[in-house]
């Protein structure tokens, strides 16, 4: 296969779908034939047939064969062409042709040979680095040079259009990647972090990036607007049978350590994997944000349009975790994965297990200034100490059974258990704008909580003989239970705001007990029908019932025992929600355009029962959730998608329950049983264009979000800086965000630059001391990056961003706040003799002084390690690493939010070193 043929094959997969109709002069020539499978002697329908102009190697036209495998091209400009015919799992057919104005060429049967047969006779070289296959952007992994035993994370950092941030977040085409699959299936659930951390880049053949639709949309073919940016790692054929893993131990001999172990066995369709880690470095810390990576939804929850009215958590959210990145964490975590397919892939089984334990101790302090509408305000200072412990485990699994060629049954279940213990001590005080002390307090809070949950889902899907006719039935169950004890102590001193002299003292010593159970059951049926070639319709009906409660009891400490119930701070509340779900969607799809539009209607009956007062409130409401989605497949590997959706958001239990909540009398929150639902409007526009021959890509997106009747805060603050707050309804502020990026390549220089820019506007409304406060801001950022490979010598990656923010508020004394910052990142890997590598990453963060802060912040954090590889295939590694070489790491943060200016600091990990010995192993069977 020539370079020309390999190059042009990449054009066909996408451009054949677009079916370009070019206007040419009225020649009367024709080219036709019939594509057949030589092995099975059958005609191949929907094969891709393309003509490539040999003069400039451009694709003239691409079409698909009909149901009988026939094709015909007419009105072809005179010239010399290469005919290319492609079909899945078949080797390409190539034939040179000369066409005149009057040519009548009948090729007859065009023979196609399977790739397996072809591989017995020839060696196929790697294809082009980047190509489009339909809506999927595909990278050929071996086209991006890596050293042996480097991870998939290192591979992704080299791919144009993909960023791997320092916290492990993956950004592809300007959007966060939610899933990483291996050969189209889950690997350790759908956690992006684990696949990147433990899979070796050498085992990967292709990296595919695409927007994964919902399971229902994939089944019916009617777009519901749901998208998850997804990466699929296609393994090399010789790597699908074997084992690989990693053993690593690192320590400084005193305080810090990081030990890891992972093993995976791949045998055809079977995957078995286990991993474990013990660490006290912060690098492996499960922060509150990271926890979401370790839980998968497992199934799509039936939406009843009530938002979170009866839920404090569900199976799709992260486990409760007490470590937020503050302090020195000690972490143990691990997991296991099993998946298999058998009986010709008619049965599929997936199972995952995850466990983690986190201990942390830390301190923090903060200063903030809050301006009230009348121009008065308070300067607040807080110092705190905290310790935390959490233990969580989760198991999930699914079994899919293909009952026959038309029907599939899928059973999914997940469950989890967690317990969390926290202790916090703080000392705080407030001065008013005159400089007089108005309050001071000492507080200690200890909380113990336990969470259990279990959910299951059964789905039956059936396709009928008529194309586009489908039926899916789903039954779903969820159970959760949360129990917590919170011990709150506070001693508060109040001072005269006019003089600062002492007035009186107040002490609170209470136990707050919370019990929140939930049970829900739901069923839904969806039927689709296709009319003609382009129009499809989907109708659905469902039902869901949810019963939940919030039993909140407050007890005063009397003689060392918490037995005296405080009725004014306690409440027993029940919720019952019954919802009928109806909906319809119409879809229209051609080769170039697809449109879907529809709406769901939720007819809901809500019973709120205040068991203490024997009071029952019944609310009936109708929620509407419209959605429209459009996709345009444009010429020259470009696409444009647009969408709109509307959604009703109901108040939560804690927002509705008529209860005064406080563990500190300086801040009291009151429930609002009359709080009304909000309605969210969301719209998006996304454009992408790729030229894989030149190595360029351009993508841009735009988001709009607005909430009618938004649920926001109303607060009243008195002269002692004591605040009472309650949720109320106010219209929101439009939030806008735009992003665009461009990447290109200088192949001879091995240089891949990129540039991106974003701009947005956000804000919100709330009430303070009877006045409506409107805070708004505009934020913008420009980022440039470049990656250079100097083969066998070094690789360099540089990125820089400039960020500019403007914020303002309608508070009379508030001034417009402008902040600017710029950050730089420089990563280098030097390949030295004797298999020694020197790796350095340096991050520069500069925040000049501004109207709110009189000093600048300039921080440089530099990490580096040197490692020596040994053993066969460089599987052994000895590494000496130093974290924060300059000892500059700090937890200082500052910012402006409307009428509030804040500064904070916290305990973080600073300079330390580790000596690590690691063994990476891999063997193909």
Look at residue 4 and tell me whether its pLDDT is greater than 50: no
Euclidean distance between CA atoms 276 and 331, whole angstroms: 11
More confident residue, 400 or 852: 400
Strand partners, 213: none
Look at residue 344 and tell me whether its pLDDT is greater than 90: no
Polymer length of the chain? 925
More confident residue, 342 or 22: 342
3-state class (DSSP) for residue 18: helix
pLDDT score, position 120: 41
Nearest to 796 by CA among 832, 840, 754: 840
Look at residue 289 and tell me whether its pLDDT is greater than 50: no
- What are the backbone dihedrals phi and psi of residue 673, each rounded to the nearest 5 degrees, phi first? -65, -15
Strand partners, 109: 34
pLDDT tens readout for residues 482-529: 999 999 999 999 999 999 999 999 999 999 999 999 999 999 999 999
Euclidean distance between CA atoms 651 and 307, whole angstroms: 8
pLDDT score, position 816: 79
Tell the residue number behind the tokens 């286990």, with chain if given.
274
Mean pLDDT lowest among 40-49, 224-233, 287-296, 552-561: 287-296
Look at residue 830 and tell me whether its pLDDT is greater than 90: yes
pLDDT tens readout for residues 115-137: 655 444 333 334 457 766 666 77
pLDDT score, position 393: 92
pLDDT tens readout for residues 602-640: 999 988 898 988 888 888 888 889 999 998 888 767 888
Residue 296: pLDDT band by 50, 70, 90 thresholds?
Answer: very low
Look at residue 818 and tell me whether its pLDDT is greater than 50: yes
Give the mean pLDDT of 29-42. Answer: 85
Q: Which of 479-493, 618-632, 741-755, 901-915 has the highest mean pLDDT?
A: 479-493
Instruction: Give how far the C-alpha of residue 296 lies from the chain's centroid of Cα atoms, to the nearest Å.
Output: 11
Dihedral sign computed on CA atoms, order 219, 223, 227, 232: positive
pLDDT score, position 872: 81
pLDDT score, position 591: 77
Residue 25: pLDDT band by 50, 70, 90 thresholds?
Answer: very low
Residue 786: pLDDT band by 50, 70, 90 thresholds?
Answer: very high
| CB proximity list for 383: less than 8 A, separation 6 or greater | 363, 364, 365, 426, 427, 428
Query: What's 12's DSSP letter?
Result: H
Angstrom distances, CA of residue 399 to CA of 215, 258, 339, 473: 15, 36, 10, 16
Name the pTM for this structure.
0.74
More confident residue, 28 or 831: 831
Instruction: Give how far the C-alpha of residue 20 lies from the chain's centroid of Cα atoms, to the nearest Å.
Output: 35
The b-or-e profile of 562-574 (16+ CB within 10 A means b, else e) is beeeeeebbbbbe
pLDDT score, position 160: 72
pLDDT tens readout for residues 179-201: 788 877 776 555 566 667 767 77
More confident residue, 170 or 168: 170
More confident residue, 12 or 764: 764
Q: What is the DSSP string of 339-355?
A: EEEETTTTEEEEEEEEE
Instruction: Give how far the C-alpha of residue 272 lies from the chain's centroid of Cα atoms, to the nearest Å.
Output: 25
Give the mean pLDDT of 702-719. Answer: 93
More confident residue, 2 or 32: 32
Residue 2: pLDDT band by 50, 70, 90 thresholds?
Answer: very low
pLDDT score, position 21: 37
| CB proximity list for 515: less than 8 A, separation 6 or greater | 481, 482, 483, 549, 550, 551
Token pair for residue 216? 């229902």
What's the angle, vertex CA 150, arms to CA 146 and CA 155, rounded to 5?
60
More confident residue, 773 or 21: 773
Nearest to 528 by CA among 579, 593, 581, 473: 473
What's the angle, vertex CA 262, arms to CA 256 and CA 267, rounded to 5?
175
pLDDT score, position 862: 94
Q: What is the largest CA-CA distance in the chain?
A: 107
Give the mean pLDDT of 316-335. Answer: 60
pLDDT score, position 189: 55
What's the angle, vertex CA 517, arms to CA 711 and CA 557, rounded to 5?
85
pLDDT tens readout for residues 67-126: 888 998 888 888 888 888 888 777 778 888 888 888 889 888 888 877 655 444 333 334
More confident residue, 620 or 379: 379
More confident residue, 3 or 652: 652
DSSP H or E stretch at residue 684? strand 678-691
């Amino acid at each position: 296969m020539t370079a020309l043929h390999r190059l042009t094959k990449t054009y066909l997969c996408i451009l054949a779908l677009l079916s370009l109709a070019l206007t040419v002069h009225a020649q009367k020539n024709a080219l036709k034939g019939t594509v057949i499978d030589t092995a099975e002697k059958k005609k191949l329908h929907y094969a891709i047939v393309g003509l490539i102009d040999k003069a400039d190697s451009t694709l003239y036209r691409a079409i698909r064969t009909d149901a009988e495998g026939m094709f015909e091209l007419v009105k072809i400009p005179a010239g010399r062409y290469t005919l290319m015919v492609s079909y899945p799992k078949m080797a390409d057919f190539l034939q040179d042709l000369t066409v005149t104005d009057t040519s009548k060429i009948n090729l007859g049967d065009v023979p196609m040979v399977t790739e397996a047969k072809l591989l017995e006779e020839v060696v196929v070289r790697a294809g082009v680095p980047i190509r489009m296959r339909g809506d999927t952007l595909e990278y050929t992994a071996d086209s991006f040079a890596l050293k042996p035993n480097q991870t998939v994370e290192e591979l992704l950092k080299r791919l144009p259009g993909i960023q791997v941030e320092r916290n492990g977040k993956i950004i592809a085409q300007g959007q966060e990647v939610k899933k990483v699959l291996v050969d189209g299936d889950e690997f350790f659930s759908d956690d992006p972090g684990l696949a990147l951390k433990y899979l070796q880049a050498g085992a990967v053949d292709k990296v595919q990036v695409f927007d994964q639709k919902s399971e229902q949309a994939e089944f019916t073919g009617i777009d519901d607007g749901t998208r998850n940016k997804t990466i699929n790692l296609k393994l090399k054929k010789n790597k699908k049978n074997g084992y690989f893993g990693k053993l690593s131990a690192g320590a400084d001999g005193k305080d810090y350590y990081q030990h890891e172990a992972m093993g995976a066995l791949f045998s055809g369709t079977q995957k078995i994997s286990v991993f474990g880690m013990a660490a006290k470095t912060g690098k492996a810390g499960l922060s509150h944000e990271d926890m979401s990576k370790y839980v998968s939804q497992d199934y799509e929850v039936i939406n009843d349009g009530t938002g979170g009215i009866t839920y404090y958590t569900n199976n799709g959210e992260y486990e409760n975790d007490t470590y937020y990145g503050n302090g020195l964490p000690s972490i143990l975590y691990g997991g296991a994965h099993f998946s298999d397919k058998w009986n010709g892939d008619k049965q599929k089984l997936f199972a995952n297990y995850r466990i983690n334990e986190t201990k942390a101790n830390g301190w923090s302090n903060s200063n903030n200034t809050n301006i009230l509408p009348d121009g008065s305000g308070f300067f607040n200072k807080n110092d705190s100490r905290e310790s935390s412990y959490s233990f969580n485990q989760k198991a999930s699994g699914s079994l899919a059974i293909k009952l026959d060629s038309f029907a599939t049954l899928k059973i999914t279940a997940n469950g989890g258990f967690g317990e969390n213990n926290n202790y916090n001590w703080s000392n705080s005080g407030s001065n008013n704008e005159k400089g007089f002390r108005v309050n001071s307090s000492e507080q200690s809070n200890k909380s113990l909580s336990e969470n259990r949950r279990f959910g299951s889902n059964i789905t039956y899907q059936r396709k009928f003989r008529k194309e586009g006719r489908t039926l899916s039935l789903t039954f779903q169950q969820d159970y959760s239970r949360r129990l917590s004890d919170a011990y709150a102590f506070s001693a508060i001193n109040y001072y005269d705001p006019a003089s600062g002299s002492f007035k009186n003292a107040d002490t609170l010593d209470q136990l707050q007990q919370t019990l929140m159970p939930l049970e829900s059951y739901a069923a839904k049926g969806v039927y689709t029908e296709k009319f003609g070639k382009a129009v499809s319709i989907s109708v659905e009906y469902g039902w869901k019932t949810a019963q939940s409660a919030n039993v909140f009891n407050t007890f005063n400490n009397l003689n060392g025992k918490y037995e005296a119930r405080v009725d004014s701070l306690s409440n027993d509340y029940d919720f019952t929600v019954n919802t009928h779900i109806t909906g319809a969607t119409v879809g229209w799809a051609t080769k170039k355009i697809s449109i879907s539009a529809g709406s769901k209607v939720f007819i809901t009956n809500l019973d709120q029962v205040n068991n203490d007062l024997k009071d029952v409130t019944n609310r009936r409401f109708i929620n509407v959730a419209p959605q429209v989605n459009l996709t345009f497949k444009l010429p020259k590997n470009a696409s444009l998608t647009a969408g709109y959706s509307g959604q009703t958001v109901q108040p939560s239990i804690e927002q509705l329950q008529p209860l005064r909540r406080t563990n500190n009398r300086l801040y009291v929150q009151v429930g609002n049983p009359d709080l009304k639902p909000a309605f969210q409007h969301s719209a998006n526009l996304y454009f992408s264009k790729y030229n894989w021959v030149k190595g360029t890509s351009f993508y841009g997106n735009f988001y709009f979000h607005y909430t009618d009747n938004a649920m926001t805060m109303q607060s009243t603050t008195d002269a002692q800086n004591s605040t009472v707050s309650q949720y109320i309804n106010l219209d929101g502020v439009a939030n806008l965000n735009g992003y665009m990026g461009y990447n290109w390549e200088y192949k001879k220089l091995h240089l891949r630059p990129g540039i991106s820019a974003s701009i947005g506007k956000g804000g919100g409304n709330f009430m303070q001391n009877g006045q409506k406060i409107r805070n708004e801001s505009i934020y913008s950022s420009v980022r440039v990056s470049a990656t250079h490979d100097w083969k066998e010598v070094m690789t360099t990656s540089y990125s820089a961003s400039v960020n500019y923010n403007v914020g303002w508020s309608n508070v009379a004394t508030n001034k417009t706040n402008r902040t600017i910052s710029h950050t730089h990142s420089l990563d280098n890997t030097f390949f030295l003799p004797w298999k020694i590598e020197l790796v350095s990453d340096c991050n520069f963060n500069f925040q000049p002084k501004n109207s709110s802060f009189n000093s600048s912040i300039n921080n440089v954090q530099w990490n580096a390690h040197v490692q020596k590889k040994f053993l066969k295939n460089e599987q052994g590694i000895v590494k000496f690493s130093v974290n924060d070489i300059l000892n500059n790491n700090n937890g200082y943060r500052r910012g402006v939010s409307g009428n509030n200016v804040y500064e904070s600091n916290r305990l973080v990990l600073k300079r330390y070193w580790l000596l690590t010995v690691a063994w990476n192993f891999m063997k193909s069977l």
